[in-house]
A and B are shown apart, each in its own frame.
Chain A
Amino acid sequence: MMSNPDMTTTPTAPARGLLDHPLHWRWALALLVLLLALPVVAIALQQEFYIGLASRILIFALAATSLNLILGFGGMISFGHAAFVGLGAYTIGILMQGGISSAWVAWPLAVGVSALFALVIGAISLRTKGVYFIMITLAFAQMLFYLLVSLKAYGGEDGMSLASRSVIATGIDLKQDATFYCVTLAVFAVAFVLVQRLLNARFGHALQAIHENETRMVAIGFPVYRYKLAAFTLAGGLAGLAGVLVANQSGFVSPALMQWNQSGMLMIMVILGGVGQLYGGVLGAVVFLVLEEVLSSYTIYWQFGLGAMLLAVVLLTPNGLMSLFQRGAKEIGK
């Protein structure tokens, strides 16, 4: 999956700029090996529960990373990102109801549907800025939420159950949790490396430069609007991919997937992990979901503990948890 480690430098480029986000491939490979070993260990210890949890974390890590692409690197604070997750999930559900369960057909279609909606919503929303952008993305997500609530053919407010999981090939049975986990891991890894490559490419640099100083980028002659729209569309598509996996894991889709507090949760994950940090979305998803799991096993009042932790993170770390890992690297001031 990560066969191409020498991505930090190209022969002509300077060693490493402010806008570069290295994969830290030694660490990444070690992490990948650990993640690959997880189902083996879990099955050996008869703790299959953790395979499901790990899949869930990977799915949300993917969704949060896609949000971080536009929120952290592009400066577009979208409060409606869960809508694209939900659209991806619903596409899977609707196709399966129509008898199409092949992953090769349904998954690209789901990503396409999410990306298409992101393109249209982005094209309108990107005319606004700042808080107004936050609110207009929320408005569109709420419209889609209520639209799906009103569609009785697809379960309305109650949602719909999926007959089975998607079919990839005869040898690969997604109904097995370990297999599903491996496919999720593969999808996540490919998507993550794609985002990393993109951020270090010309497109990613331009996107980050627009975030830093939009006026200057306009003056230099960059088609700023088109860059932002492309990033927004791509992030929507990746969120749709996360939705595909959500639908397959839970075997159930409902409008609750795209409610505003789901968008809020994705945002919280990104802010928690680190806005504009390559691993920010991943770290945020891991910490948030593990905290939720651990705290809720001790007390029914676990949200209090979660809130206290989040508050401590805000007050003590300037830019999310990732800032704990990079002492001295403070060039990018806000």
Chain B
Amino acid sequence: MILFLEQSLNGLQFGLMLFLLAAGLTLVFGIMDTINLAHGSLYMIGAYLTATAAAASGSFLVGLGAGIVGTTAIGVLLEMTVLRRLYHRDHLSQVLGTFAILLMSNEVVRMVWGSQPILLNPPAALAGPVDLMPGFAYPAFRLLIIGVGLAVAGGLYVLVTRTRVGMQVRAGASNREMALAMGTDVRKLFTMVFGLGAALCAVAGGMLGPLLAVQVGMGESILILAFVVIVIGGIGSIRGALMGSLLVGVVDTCGHTIVPMVLAETLGASAAATAGPAVASILIYVLMAAVLFWKPEGLFPAHG
């Protein structure tokens, strides 16, 4: 029971961080019709900037702030110099172009920080566990991640559903030509959305940095998961991204505990230890294939 509770919280925490990445990705995809493989690079850059600024200032909060500001600036710069030229190209050119950016940013990070993983410590006050229930302690920093994730998701919800900019974003996602015709300043909107996506990447990178290793290539594996999320949720839909993230986060995290246990019951302990993690990793792809099989447009299609 305790194990189940803990895994659910871990799943929620991972899912919320995935959501931060997926939200930016799904907006860029839905509104600009652009496949951005470099999204994971912004996440990596966010983590590196946060770690460096946190080490220099001695404060995690200052580090995270600097990471967000820096990554947003880099994202906006990237959009204005390169991405803007790819919007009107076909998907394959976008794949090649953003893959090139991914290679280059990996290499730049390696030049600046070296290829060894660097350390990002959680704030000292939150390093220990807290008692949620008698007999159930949970790391405070992971609780903070859940809190930040929920707060950002809530803020994004208000931004998208209650503000003028959000209205334009939704209009752009559901019918781009019509939004153009109604006088939306798309150049500005695109840059803003891309900058917002970069900022969300930095939040995810900075918050996950202390849990996972801050290293070159950290963006790629999570990028694939983020793509899985937005395809499950339906491209262009923020709500779909949230549902997809939570689903993937919980299935992946719980799968990694439950599958080895089930395998240990049926096949024996040694087989479970070797096959368990791999079989658990298959789960989310089975989930995605199943969703696409029965709902080819994803769970919450944005295009009416």
Query: Which of B281, B288, B293 is A127 in contact with, Cβ under 8 Å?
Result: B293
B218 at the A/B interface (Cβ < 8 Å)?
no
Query: Are the CB atoms of B285 and A142 closer together than 8 Å?
Result: yes
Residue with the greatest number of chain A CB neighbours at <10 A, chosen from B82, B279, B289:
B289
Chain B facing A: main interface SS? helix
Question: B16 within 8 Å of A by Cβ?
Answer: no
Q: Which residues of B contact A128 (CB under 8 A)?
A: 292, 296
B 86-114 contacts with A by CB, 8 A = 86, 89-93, 95-97, 99-104, 106-108, 110-111
Residues of B with C-beta under 8 A to A307:
99-104, 107
Q: Which residues of B contact A132 (CB under 8 A)?
A: 231, 292, 296-298
Closest partner residue, chain B, to A157 (CB atom): B278
Given A275-B92, A301-B107, A304-B104: A139 in contact with B278 (beta carbons within 8 A): no
Contact yes or no, B275 A152, CB < 8 A: yes
**A268 and B101 alpha carbons, distance in the complex (Å):** 13
Q: A111 CB to closest chain B CB, in angstroms?
A: 25
Main secondary structure of the interface of A (DSSP, over half): helix
Comparing A13-21, A159-167, A259-267, the segment that makes contact with chain B is: A259-267
Report the count of interface residues on B (CB-CB < 8 A): 46
Q: Which residues of A contact B85 (CB under 8 A)?
A: 315
Q: Is B66 an interface residue (CB 8 A)?
A: no
Candidates A151, A275, A301, A314; contact of B97 at CB < 8 Å = A314
Q: Which residues of A contact B82 (CB under 8 A)?
A: 311, 315
Q: Is B235 an interface residue (CB 8 A)?
A: yes
B274 (CB) vs chain A CBs: closest residue: A152
Q: Which of chain B's residues 228-256 have a Cβ closer than 8 Å to chain A? A: 228, 231, 235
Decide: B103 and A146 in contact? CB cutoff 8 A.
Answer: no
Interface: B79 (CB within 8 A):
no
A303 vs B107: C-alpha distance when bound (angstroms): 6
The interface of chain A, by Cβ under 8 A from chain B, is 71, 77, 124, 127-129, 131-132, 135-136, 138-140, 142-143, 146-147, 149-152, 156-157, 260-261, 264, 267-268, 271-272, 275, 301, 303-304, 306-311, 313-315, 334
Given A135-B288, A268-B96, A124 contacting B107 (CB threshold 8 A): no
From B95, B100, B220, B227, name the one whose CB has the most chain A CB atoms within 10 angstroms: B100
- Nearest residue in A to B227 (C-beta to C-beta)? A135
Q: How near does chain A come to B77, taking the closest CB pair, in angstroms?
A: 15
For B104, what are the chain A residues with a Cβ–Cβ distance below 8 Å?
303-304, 307-308, 311
Query: Which listed residue (B86, B274, B288) contacts A156, Cβ 8 A?
Result: B274
Q: A139-B288, A146-B281 are in contact. Are A304 and B107 (CB under 8 A)?
A: yes
B296 x A129 contact (CB < 8 A): yes
Question: Which chain B residue has the least Cβ–Cβ distance from A140?
Answer: B289
Structural contact, B220 and A261, CB atoms closer than 8 A: yes
Top 9 closest A-B pairs, CB basis? A150-B278, A307-B103, A307-B104, A304-B107, A310-B100, A311-B100, A150-B275, A314-B97, A149-B278
* Option from B224, B231, B282, B285 in Cβ contact (under 8 Å) with A131: B231
| A314 contacts B93, C-beta separation under 8 Å | yes
Asked if A136 contacts B288 (CB within 8 A), the reply is yes
Contact between A264 and B289, CB atoms less than 8 A apart: no
A300 and chain B: residue at smallest CB distance: B110
A136-B293, A143-B289, A310-B97 given; 4 more Cβ-contact pairs under 8 Å = A135-B288, A139-B292, A143-B285, A146-B282
Contacts of A267 on B, CB cut-off 8 Å? 92, 95
**Residue B35 CB within 8 A of the other chain:** yes
What would be 27 A-B contacts, judged by CB atoms less than 8 Å apart? A71-B92, A128-B292, A129-B296, A131-B231, A132-B296, A135-B288, A139-B289, A140-B289, A142-B224, A143-B282, A143-B289, A146-B282, A146-B285, A150-B279, A156-B274, A271-B92, A275-B92, A304-B104, A304-B107, A307-B99, A308-B100, A308-B104, A310-B96, A311-B82, A311-B97, A314-B86, A314-B93
From known contacts A132-B292, A136-B289, infer whether A315 and B97 are also in contact, taking CB-CB under 8 Å: yes
- Cβ–Cβ contact A146 & B278, under 8 A: yes
- Determine the distance from Cα of A135 to Cα of B29 in the docked complex, in whole angstroms: 14
Report B-chain residues with C-beta under 8 Å of the C-beta of A131.
29, 35, 91, 231, 235
Given known A-B contacts A128-B296, A131-B35, A315-B97, A303 and B285 have beta carbons under 8 A apart: no
A44 to chain B, nearest CB (A): 37
- CA A138 – CA B274 in complex, angstroms? 24
In the complex, chain B residues whose CB is within 8 Å of the CB of A140:
285, 289
In the complex, residue of chain A having the shortest beta-carbon distance to the beta carbon of B90: A334
From the candidates A136, A149, A313, A334, name the one contacting B292 in the complex (CB within 8 A). Answer: A136
B289-A124 in contact (CB<8A): yes
Q: Is B124 an interface residue (CB 8 A)?
A: no
Q: Any chain A CB within 8 A of the CB of B182? A: no
A140 to B284, CA, bound (A): 11
